[in-house]
Amino acid sequence: MNRVPLEKKVLSENDRIAAELREDFARHGVLVVNLISSPGSGKTSLLEQTLARLEPSARVAVLTGDIQTENDANRLKRFGFPVKQITTGGTCHLDARMIKNHLADWPLDNLDILFIENVGNLVCPSSYDLGEQAKIVVLSVTEGEDKPLKYPSIFFKSELLILNKVDLLPYITFKIELAEANARRVHPGMEAIRVSCTTGEGLDEWIEWLQARREKSVERIPETVRA
């Protein structure tokens, strides 16, 4: 069993394409965020609520990944922004080549923010750089406070923790401060926003975070590479 060398080769090929993508995104001033969570934590609901709150003139697009079905793209297309489904057919994560292929006919000049919704999986997507500026991990409050300790990689690599479904807190024993403290044991100083896609709580804060993050990412682009 000689597994590691091949895994390294796959990852280094992925990293090469991701680095190209990152340079492209920077040149065009596109903020790219990679949303990662367990199945059913509410990534698609968060994107629905986000798109619903943006001006029709907003320059945003979505790539949404799943093993099977076009369900998520269908849910997201009704807001009028460009949306494409990436169906992996069994692969447990998106990779940089899938992103590159699906972006081939999308002019990046027309975009300020690209949302990537990864396959629902708290493990494998954390190993694959997609050229994004920020990974964002979504944890719903029904999943238990210990998840950051059990799945540390994705919490360590994510800039932001979205705690979703806070409207259900009265009906469960989840201690939200403990979940945040666990996330910060893995990733000191990690930002966190509490949201409910049902009541709308916290969504303004999330939109403000996105806008501030976009401004920060554009500021970082050296003058010489701006489009």
Question: What mask of x and - would describe binding to its own copies in positions 127 to 166, judged by CB under 8 A?
Answer: -------------x-xxx-xx-xxxxx-----------x-
Tell me how far, at minimum, the Cβ of 84 lies from its own copies, in Å.
17
Q: Are strands 113-117 and 134-140 parallel, antiparallel or unpaired?
A: unpaired
| CB nearer to its own copies: pick between 50 and 140 | 140
What is d(CA 74, CA 70) in angstroms, rounded to the nearest whole number? 6
- Examine residue 58 and tell whether it contacts its own copies (CB under 8 A): no
The pair of structure tokens assigned to 60 is 């945003």
Tell me how far, at minimum, the Cβ of 194 lies from its own copies, in Å.
16
User: Residue 61: what are its φ and ψ, rounded to 5°?
Assistant: -150, 165
Tell me how far, at minimum, the Cβ of 193 lies from its own copies, in Å.
19
Sequence-distant (6+) residues with CB within 8 A of 145 are 174, 175, 176, 178, 179, 182
Angle at the Cα of 98 (from 76 to 83), degrees rounded to 5?
15
Tell me how far, at minimum, the Cβ of 213 lies from its own copies, in Å.
26
Enclosing H/E stretch for 83: strand 83-87
Are the C-beta atoms of residues 182 and 150 closer than 8 Å to each other?
no
Single residue of 16, 20, 23, 40 touching its own copies by CB under 8 A: 40
What one-letter code names the amino acid at 60?
A: V
Q: Which residues between 67 and 96 bind its own copies (CB under 8 A)?
A: 67-69, 71, 90, 92
User: Where along the sequence are the contacts to its own copies (CB under 8 A)?
Assistant: 1-3, 6, 9-10, 13, 38-41, 66-69, 71, 90, 92, 119-124, 140, 142-144, 146-147, 149-153, 165, 167-168, 171-172
